[in-house]
């Protein structure tokens, strides 16, 4: 299992919970034993696969945030490359991305890391279809908007209000679908000690196992995830590790 991570992701680039000091450190210290891969920033041409020139110029005006957003997108691209080779991989990246649409963004996001990774895999004809599982507390409107009308990309955001129903819903959906690759927008703010107050740590392990099962059954093991949310630093690392152990 590979973890794509850059030391620059610890940089506090904004005054929001996703950019809070200590957040990335709380995760990486729990991931001992995983192979670390260092990414490069995405090229502007990669960003243009999903975002307009106006939006890119808008983010560019943020200065250091723009550099971090390119590095986050680059992390997602590297993760998708590893997954294409059948290597389970996770992007421990920030800023997050699933609230970034083609020409707008909100919710601590700037560029849509997940959408950019999927779009490049498709543009290079490495895949024909993709399934994006987004278990973040919040609906990834940016991802859904970017792929709206594209029948080759399935976006799934479960919203059950009971813990076991949520986990079972994920399992049923994955059992009923197929794709050339499965990608996960991994938001950990549904945890019982985070904003959502629903899932426990072992639920993330179970979801990771369901992702692995889908990948082995449908797409020769091609699976990857990227970090979205998760704001309680005392439990975040354990939750990420549980999910990765499930995938691995």
Q: What are the catalytic residues?
A: 99
Contact in structure between 76 and 97 (CB atoms under 8 Å): yes
Alpha-carbon torsion 200, 202, 204, 210, what sign?
A: negative
CA atoms within 13 A on the CB side of 74: 18
């Amino acid at each position: 299992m590979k973890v794509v991570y850059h030391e620059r992701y610890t940089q506090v680039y904004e005054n929001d919970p996703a950019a809070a000091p200590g957040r990335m450190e709380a995760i990486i210290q729990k991931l001992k034993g995983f192979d670390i891969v260092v990414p490069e920033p995405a090229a502007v041409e990669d960003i243009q696969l999903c975002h307009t020139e106006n939006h890119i110029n808008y983010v560019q005006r943020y200065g250091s945030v723009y550099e971090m957003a390119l590095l986050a997108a680059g992390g997602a691209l590297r993760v998708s490359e590893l997954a294409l080779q059948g290597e389970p991989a996770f992007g421990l990246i920030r800023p997050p991305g699933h609230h970034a649409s083609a020409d707008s963004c909100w919710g601590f996001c700037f560029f849509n890391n997940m959408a950019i990774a999927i779009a490049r895999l498709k543009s290079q004809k490495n895949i024909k279809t993709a399934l994006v599982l987004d278990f973040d507390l919040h609906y990834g409107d940016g991802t859904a908007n970017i792929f709206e009308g594209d029948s080759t990309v399935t976006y799934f955001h479960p919203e059950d209000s009971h813990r076991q129903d949520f986990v079972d819903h994920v399992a049923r959906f994955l059992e009923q679908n197929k794709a050339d690759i499965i990608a996960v927008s991994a938001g950990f703010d549904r945890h019982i000690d985070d904003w959502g107050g629903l899932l426990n740590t072992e639920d993330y392990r179970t979801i990771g196992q369901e992702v692995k099962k889908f990948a082995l059954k449908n797409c020769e093991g091609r699976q990857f995830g990227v970090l979205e949310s998760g704001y309680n630093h005392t439990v975040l690392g354990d939750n990420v590790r549980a999910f990765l152990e499930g995938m691995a």
